Amino acid sequence: MAKLNIVLFEPEIPSNTGNIGRTCVATGTRLHLIEPLGFRLNEKSIRRAGMDYWEHLDVTRYVNYQDFCDRNPGAKVYMATTKAPYVYTEVQYEPDCYLMFGKESGGIPEEILLDNQETAIRIPMLPTIRSLNLANSVSIVLYEALRQNHFDHMQLEGHLTRFDWK
């Protein structure tokens, strides 16, 4: 069964993290938060964005990037960055891989990217745009990884409440 992982490197905006948490709950994805965080996890804006899903979130916190690496040895980590050489659709995502996204104001530090250039991925966009919203970026890449893993363990068919599809 696919069990993907989202890693947020020093996220700064609580509503982004709340929305990402909700997406993780909806997809059965684990969330990993690398500190320092730009907010407290009990802030109202996280609860509002994550709604009542936050209590169901599988979330792990790390004191820094080295703590993340130490506690996840051998993990395949794809680094989402505007500086990447590969488009996010050009790689094959393993069912248990990690998708890392940097903080809103600066992304993933270049020292980390340099050590991981073979797994650095990007979302194509116009060259006049600095970056996409963090929560949107996570959704784009996560759903590609889920698609490649055949949406394993997810509900693939919807049903009308009062009518039947014909």
- Residues belonging to the binding site are 102, 123, 131
Q: Rounded to an integer, what distance in angstroms lies between the CA atom of residue 141 and that of residue 148? A: 11
Bridge partners (DSSP) listed for residue 100:
7, 79
Which of these, 43, 16, 140, 29, lies nearest to 88 by C-alpha position? Answer: 140
Q: How far is CA 29 from CA 78, 83, 95, 108, in A?
A: 15, 25, 11, 21
Annotated binding-site residues for S-adenosyl-L-methionine read 102, 123, 131
Q: Which residues contact 85 (CB under 8 A, 6 or more apart)?
A: 117, 120, 122
Which of the 8 DSSP states describes residue 116? T
